[in-house]
Amino acid sequence: MRRLIYLAMILAVAVPLLLGASRSPSRLVSAERMYDVVDTLDAKPGEVALVWLDFGPGTLAENEPQAQVLLEHLFRRRIPVVLLSQYQQAEAALQRIPKEVAERLEAELPGERWSYGDAWVNGGFRPGQSIFIQALVNAPDVSKFLGRDVNGMPITHYPRFAAIGGVEHVKLVGEVTGLVGVFDNIIQFFQKGGYRPTVVHGCTSITIPEAYIFLDSGQLKGLLEGIAGAAWYSEVLKRHYPKSDNSRLLAVNTALSSAHVVLIGLIILGNVVALWQRARRRDG
Amino acid sequence: MSERQPIDRRAQVIRAFTLLGGVYFFLYFILPETAAESLGIKARHEAISNGFIVIGAMAVGLGLFNLVSAHGSRIAFARKGWAYSLALLVGLFSMLAVTAAQWRQSLGITAEARKAQIVGEFAQRIVQDAESHAAAPALAVRAAALRAYADGLLDQIGATLLVGPPAETPLGIELRAAAASLRGSLPRLEAVPGESLSPEGKGALTDVGRAGELLSAALGAFLRQESSSTMVQQLYTLLYEGLFNQLGSAMFALLGVYIAAAAFRAFRIRTVESALMMAAALIVMLGQISLGQLISDELPAMRQWLLEVPNSAAFRAIRLGASVAALMLAIRMWLSIESGSFSSRKR
């Protein structure tokens, strides 16, 4: 029986992907709120967005699309992005994802450039978690505190990031993670003298229930709930930027939806079988 | 009469540092900014935080030492499972070696880009020194030195990088344009007088500085593109993207299959509570897939309500309880009540 269930799950994911099936995602209000927050973000010259990519291979499938849509939106709005991580296994994602997003945008909009050092800088993995965040928010100049980027170049070398100044010039903090605890660090410690930047979050499906308490309290302004959240965000992006290509993300979301349908079917089947067994026992 | 226990100095030192560290961060967190400033803590906080981060990072080294020690001995004495230990250590050392080589390569690229960065910094420094009347060689001498350095750098870039097919790539063309821009701005340095800085001289130095910055950025991007085809980079991509990422993703993907099997068995209606839980799970799942909207337009809204109201209430209660427990545990650790492992004495 277990083998049949495994087979059903594999087919549910693989068949839609192989057939290229694609359905419009379900509307998620939390993702829409996040879109509005990023879209109306008032970042003046010298102000930046700080995006933490705290995920490794384990949750890459869920967190990568979230990081992609968030960075795509920030890049389109020409808001400079500082990338950081509290998780050492995120190193490859920090290097690859912004580069791929920039290349996709450059292909979509010939003549426009999103280059490293101008659109984004990669501050790399930073150990220390809550201690590091407390030191960062208390630093008089974020650029100087971060020191060098992942290539060993001083961050002050890049004109758009040369003098960020205090944490008041970080207008948006994005945290994309599936890990427990790292998002709490941002909520607890990323504040100084009454200043709290706008915080948005991309989480895995497992951590959605926990993230909702911060969304409800207003500490979190927008949330991407797993792949479904990223898919709906990409759909909203496409409405505003019709050339944006979200076909791959919609295909993945469709495959995931198909797996959900199989799961729901299994739950119903399990109950029908249980009822039938109970009835047989009662009849003797 | 009972025998007197010897004093465990090692444990005492650790307990003292734990207490002091806790006192420091506690005070820094609760003291107003003005009080931290007047006590002189604020100015030293960055250095102290960095010290704690460095100590924390040492845990990685300790972990590495433990790993090598535990698995190395298993291989050396051919204990059960030694082949797995060998695979682990081979993986560890190959990844370490390739990552170190890639890091070295990256530092080399940065050092090359830094050569161009110096042009911009030097030009900026000349202007600053002239404006603040700092003791420095004559302006014309410094401008000539800047020009000679930039000319030498441009010749080197032209002879080594702007040749062959890589020079025709988009980044190669960008590098060529940046080099041409700097070359074009250099003759203007002749306008820099020997004594005080004129507006024309300042303009020339500013232009050279900007061109140097542009060249540095273009050079860095070009060299990084070139390095992507080196053996070290390809090995890194193979190990990290080809093996580590795929294996890690596969491990996590297995969860989906297990959840499906568990759902079949566990979500059975036996009581009113289990029926409620199953109904909530079905609504949440249906509400986030497109099929849900086909069944009813209200499903996403119902899902949202479930997550925002009953879920948030329950999770707040859980978090509150867990936080109180965490606080108690933190206080016990701070006061070294939970510090049995610090002691060198066997219990």
Chain B residues with CB inside 8 Å of A61's CB? 249, 252-253
For residue A107, give the CATH number of its domain: 3.40.50
| Claim to verify: residue B42 and residue B110 sit in the same structural domain | no
In this structure, the answer to whether residues B107 and B185 fall within a common structural domain is yes
Q: What distance in Å separates the CA atoms of residue B226 and residue A10, rounded to the nearest whole number?
A: 40
Please indicate whether, in this complex, the C-beta atoms of B251 and A260 are within 8 angstroms of each other: no
When the pLDDT of each residue in chain A is averaged and rounded to a whole number, the result is 92
Q: Are A167 and A142 in contact (CB under 8 A)?
A: yes
Per-residue pLDDT, averaged over B246-261, amounts to 85
pLDDT, mean of residues B123-142: 84
Question: From the CA atom positions of chain A, what is the Rg in Å?
Answer: 21
State how beta strands A120-125 and A81-85 pair.
Answer: parallel
Asked whether B204 and B188 are in contact (CB, 8 A), the reply is: yes
Residue A260 has its nearest CB partner, among B60, B257, B285, at B285
Q: Is B115 on the interface with A (CB under 8 A)?
A: no
Asked whether residue B212 is domain-assigned, the answer is yes
Q: What percent of chain B stands above pLDDT 90? A: 27
Question: Could you tell me whether strands A170-177 and A120-125 are parallel, antiparallel, or unpaired per DSSP bridges?
Answer: unpaired
Query: Are B267 and A267 a contacting pair at CB < 8 A?
Result: yes
Asked if pLDDT for residue A137 goes beyond 60, the answer is yes
- The residue with tokens 């994309």 is A176
Q: Would residue B326 count as lying in a domain?
A: yes
pLDDT average, residue stretch B202-217: 87
- Any domain includes A18: no
Closest Cβ opposite residue B312 in set A126, A151, A213: A213
The pLDDT value given to residue B161: 83
Residue B58 is predicted with a pLDDT of 86
Q: Which two tokens stand for residue A162?
A: 């040369």
Region B7-32 average pLDDT: 85
Record: contact A131-B106, CB cut-off 8 A: no
Q: CA B340: distance to chain centroid?
A: 34
Assigned token pair, B317: 């209660």
CB contact under 8 A, A132 and B53: yes
Query: Structure pTM?
Result: 0.83
Q: Give CA–CA dist A246/A253, Å, rounded.
A: 11
Q: pLDDT per residue over B219-246, tens digit each?
A: 888 888 888 888 998 998 899 888 988 8
Q: What angle do CA B119, B121, B123 make, to 5 degrees?
A: 70
For chain A, the domain total comes to 1
Structural domain harbouring A188: 23-249
Tokens of B161: 């990088």
In a domain, A6, yes or no: no
- Answer whether residue B124 is part of any domain: yes
B131 touches chain A (CB under 8 A): no
* Chain B residue numbers touching A132 (CB-CB < 8 A): 49, 53
Distance (Å, whole) CA B214 – CA B208: 10
Average pLDDT over residues A102-121: 93
Which chain A residues are closer than 8 Å to B289 by Cβ? Answer: 26, 228, 256-257, 260-261
At which residue do the structure tokens 């060249």 appear? Answer: B215
Query: Can you give the pLDDT at residue B117?
Result: 86
- Whether A152 sits inside 8 A of B53 (CB atoms) is no
- Interface-testing mutation among A13, A27, A100, A258, with chain B (most B C-beta atoms within 10 A): A27
CA A112, A115, A120: angle at the middle one, nearest 5? 120
Flag if B319 and A213 touch (Cβ within 8 Å): yes
Question: Which pLDDT score, from 0 to 100, does residue A11 have?
Answer: 93
Confidence class for position B86, pLDDT limits 50, 70, 90: very high
Query: Is B138 in the same domain as B203?
Result: yes
Q: Do B110 and A128 touch (CB under 8 A)?
A: no
- Residue B280 has, within 13 A of its CA and on its CB side, a CA count of 15
**Which residue in chain B has the smallest CA separation from A229?**
B288
Q: Is residue B163 part of a domain?
A: yes
Determine, yes or no, domain membership for A205: yes
Residue B93 lies in a domain: no
Coil, strand or helix: which one is B292? helix
Which chain B residue has the Cα nearest residue A269?
Answer: B264
Lowest mean pLDDT among B93-102, B221-230, B335-344: B335-344
Is A130 a domain residue? yes
DSSP B212-224: HHHHHHHHHHHHH
The reply to whether B262 falls in a domain is no
CA distance A15 to chain B (A): 16
Decide if A57 and B117 are in contact by the 8 Å CB cutoff: no
Instruction: Report the pLDDT averaged over residues B326-341.
Output: 83
Q: How much is the pLDDT for B130?
A: 84
pLDDT tens per residue, range A223-253: 999 999 999 999 999 999 999 999 999 999 9
Rounded Cα gap, residues B261 and A132, in angstroms: 42
- pLDDT at residue A258, rounded to an integer: 92
The alpha-carbon gap from A191 to the nearest alpha carbon of chain B, in Å, equals 11
Is residue A143 situated within a structural domain? yes
ipTM value of the model? 0.85
Write the CA distances from B17 to B21, B40, B335, B342, integer angstroms: 6, 20, 11, 12
Give me the residue from A27, A131, A263 closest to B285, CB to CB.
A263
Per-residue model confidence (pLDDT) at position B38: 87
CB A61 within 8 A of CB A13: no
CA-based nearest distance A273→chain B, Å = 10
- For residue range A32-57, list pLDDT tens digits in order: 999 999 999 988 888 999 999 999 98
pLDDT at site A222 = 96
Q: Is 70 exceeded by the pLDDT of residue B249? A: yes
Looking at the domain assignment, is residue B240 inside a domain?
no
At B343 the pLDDT is 57
Question: Has residue A275 been placed in a domain?
Answer: no
Q: Which residue of A has its CA nearest to B105?
A: A151
User: Is A5–B261 a contact, with Cβ atoms under 8 angstroms apart?
Assistant: yes
By residue range, what is the domain housing residue B202? Answer: 100-229
Interchain contact, B252 vs A150, CB within 8 Å? no
**Mutate which: A264, A276, A277, vs B, most B CBs within 10 A:** A264
State the pLDDT at residue A100.
95
Sign of the Cα pseudo-torsion (A212, A213, A216, A222, in order):
negative
- Look at chain B and report how many structural domains it folds into: 3
Same domain, B171 and B105: yes
Q: How far is B315 from chain A (nearest CA, A)?
A: 6
A71 pLDDT more than 70: yes
- pLDDT of residue A74 exceeding 90: yes
Identify the residue with better confidence: B12 or B93. B93
- pLDDT of the residue at B48: 87
Chain A nearest-CA distance from B6, in A, is: 36
Burial (CB count within 10 angstroms: exposed 0-12, middle 13-18, buried 19+), residue B49: buried
Q: Angle at the Cα of B140 (from B138 to B144), degrees rounded to 5?
A: 120
Question: What does the radius of gyration of chain B's CA atoms come to, in whole angstroms?
Answer: 32
Tokens at A193, concatenated = 């003298």
Q: What is the pLDDT of residue B347?
A: 47
Q: From the list A8, A118, A213, which residue is nearest B316 (CB)? A: A213
Shared-domain flag, residues B182 and B281: no
Q: Is B50 on the interface with A (CB under 8 A)?
A: yes
pLDDT band at B340 (very low <50, low <70, confident <90, very high): low
Q: d(Cα B237, Cα B231) in Å, to the nearest integer?
A: 10
Beta bridge partners of A51: A83, A174
Residue B101, both tokens: 């080589």
The alpha carbon of residue A140 is apart from the nearest alpha carbon of chain B, in Å, by 10
Q: Count Cβ–Cβ pairs < 8 Å, chain A vs chain B.
A: 179
Q: Who's near B110: CB < 8 A, 6+ residues apart?
A: A151, A152, A153, B220
| Contact at CB, A212 and B213, closer than 8 angstroms | no
Rounded CA separation B75/B80 (Å): 9
For all residues of chain B together, what is the average pLDDT? 86
Query: Which DSSP symbol is given to B194?
Result: S
* Residue at which a domain ends, from B170, B198, B229: B229
- Does B92 contact A at CB distance below 8 Å? no
Residues B227, B93: contact at Cβ < 8 Å? no
- Helix, strand or coil, per DSSP, at residue B72: helix
SS (H, E, C) chain A: CHHHHHHHHHHHHHHHHHHCCCCCCCCCHHHHHHHHHHHCCCCCCCCEEEEEEECCHHHHHHHHHHHHHHHHHHHHCCCCEEEEECCHHHHHHHHHHHHHHHHHHHHHCCCCCCCECCCEEEEEECCCCHHHHHHHHHCCCHHHHHCECCCCCEHHHCHHHCCCCCHHHEEEEEEEECCCCHHHHHHHHCCECCECCEEEEEECHHHHHHHHHHHHHCCCCEEEEHHHHHHHHHHHHHHHCCCCCCHHHHHHHHHHHHHHHHHHHHHHHHHHHHHHHHHHHHCC
